[in-house]
Amino acid sequence: MIKPTLLATAAITLVTGCVTTAHSDDHSMSAKASDAELCVDFGPQTPRDISSTLGMNKDNFTMAPASTEMNLCNIHTHTNAEHKGPGYSVFVNDSESGGYACNDTAHLSAAELAAPAVNAGKFKGVKPGDTIEVHWVHTSCDITPGEGLGSCLSDTCTDPLLRVEAQTFLVVNDSEAENFMHYAYNDTMRNNLHQPASLPTGTGEPVVFRGSTTGPSYTQSTCSPLKVTWSVRPQCARLDINSLNQWAADGNDFNETKSHGVRQLVTDPALLSPIE
């Protein structure tokens, strides 16, 4: 999600075009009355089931280059995965607190589910046993990382190429699990570009596709106008809750102190790009 309240910074005018369509029986579609009309005049939308290559939206906008050739502009999380993937296919519900959970959620031990002893609740909206989807947003603009969409733009760069690297984590109370600080910004520069300290590996080859921004403000009838190249890893990794709380307790360049809600899965092929 890139915060919709900052969309005006990009000087984008929204013009919604809608067409009536039938609902799918898939419970992941969020069968709300507002989804009866599709905003088909927009580019391909996100999130999606990355196991399916199906898509009929032919807006073949220019794909962003590799994240190593772009500036990191924002890092944020969503509680529960917005995407559906092989390792996170457990449907939670169709609210903005819904989405998908990691497949191993039901098999956690009491110790992994225990509340942390230090910095408990510093990063709000996440507790042991929760699933989160982390988004590392990259831009072609020459910027400094910061809060929300505004950090991905500048006065002289209002229409950047955007790329989101995404990883879904199962949050546990376990110091042996992944440490979020390994993936934080930490003022890291490589080749004069702002970069995360590292990006997750070992969770499968990322699925790359054209899409949009996400977040609970958008549905299948209220689409995001921004065009984003997505790189979504298909498997979950376990993440230590203590490291996530530490990221918030120490302060971070993105002013992120809580996890965000989800946009329900986009399922209509007219709103999805074909995955090549």
- pLDDT tens digits, 234-274: 999 999 999 999 999 999 999 999 999 999 999 999 999 99
Residues in contact with 154: Cβ distance below 8 Å, sequence separation at least 6, in sequence order: 141, 142, 143
Mean pLDDT computed over 4-26: 35
Range of the domain at 85: 4-271
Position 100 pLDDT exceeds 90: yes
Q: What pLDDT is stored for residue 149 in this prediction?
A: 80
Quick: pLDDT tens for 29-69: 443 434 469 999 999 999 999 999 999 999 999 999 999 99
Model-level pTM?
A: 0.89
Name which of 46, 13, 1, 2 is nearest 272 in CA terms: 46
- Provide the number of structural domains found in the chain: 1
Residue 17 pLDDT > 80, yes or no?
no
Asked if residue 175 is part of any domain, the answer here is yes
Arithmetic mean of pLDDT over the chain: 89
- Is 193 within a domain? yes
Opening angle at CA 122, ends 193 and 75, nearest 5: 20
The encoded tokens of residue 266 equal 């986009």
Report if residue 123 sits inside a domain: yes
User: What's the mean pLDDT in 85-99?
Assistant: 97
- On whether residue 122 sits in a domain, the answer given is yes
Per DSSP, the chain holds a count of helices (H) and strands (E) of: 2, 12
3-state secondary structure of 177: coil
The confidence score (pLDDT) of residue 18 equals: 35
* pLDDT reported for residue 36: 61
pLDDT at 9 over 50: no
> Is residue 190 in a domain?
yes
Encode pLDDT of 114-156 as tens digits.
Answer: 999 999 999 999 999 999 999 999 999 999 999 988 899 999 9
Burial bucket for residue 198 (CB in 10 Å: 0-12, 13-18, 19+) = exposed
Q: Residue 276 domain-assigned?
A: no
- Count the residues in the chain: 276
Is 64 a member of any domain?
yes
- Residue range 161-220, pLDDT digits in tens: 999 999 999 999 999 999 999 999 999 999 999 999 999 999 999 999 999 999 999 999
Q: Residue 210 falls within a domain, yes or no?
A: yes
